[in-house]
Amino acid sequence: MGVDTIAMDNRSRLRRTVAVGAVSLLALAGCSGESVEPAISIAVVDGKPDFSPKTVTVDTDDTVDLSVTNTTDKTHGFRIEGYGITRLVDPTAPPEHVKFTAYRGGIFRIMCQLHEAHQTATLIVT
C-alpha cells in the first residue's frame, strides 16, 4: 500500500468520525431545551397557605410555562429566588403563567413575597 493510499484511508476515516460526531451532537441537542408546563398551587394546607406540590423539577435549558393558581381567599405572592421572578396571584383570577428559561442549574426557593411566614416550595433545575 502506497503513502497516497494510506493518506486517503486516514482522510476517509476522519470524515466518517466527524460525521458520526456531528450526528451524535445533534441527537444530544434534542434532549434538552424542551418546553415543559408544570403547575403549582397556593392552597390552604393544614390551616395555612402553602404550595402544592412542594417541588417542581425541570431540566437546564427547558422553556418553562409554570401555571400558578391560588385557591385561598386572599391575594398571595409568587417568587422564584435566583431567577428574578415575582408575581401576584389573585384568588379570583385565572392561573398566572410564569414563563422562563431554566438557564441555571440548582435548587431555588419558591415563596410568597407578601407573607414571608408562609411555607415555601422548591424549584430544582437539573
Domain positions in the chain are 1-31, 35-125
* Residue-level pLDDT at 47: 79
63-113 per-position pLDDT tens digit: 999 999 999 999 999 999 999 999 999 998 999 999 999 999 999 999 998
Contact present, 112 and 82 (Cβ < 8 Å):
no
Contact present, 85 and 79 (Cβ < 8 Å):
yes
Entry pTM = 0.70
Q: What is the DSSP letter of 95?
A: P
What architecture does CATH give domain 35-125?
Answer: Sandwich (2.60)
**81 SS3 class:** coil
> How far is Cα 116 from Cα 63, in angstroms, rounded to an integer?
28
Instruction: Supply the mean pLDDT for the chain.
Output: 80
Please name the residue that has the C-alpha cell 417542581: 56
| pLDDT of 117 strictly over 90 | no
Instruction: Using a pLDDT cut of 70, give the percent of the chain over it.
Output: 75
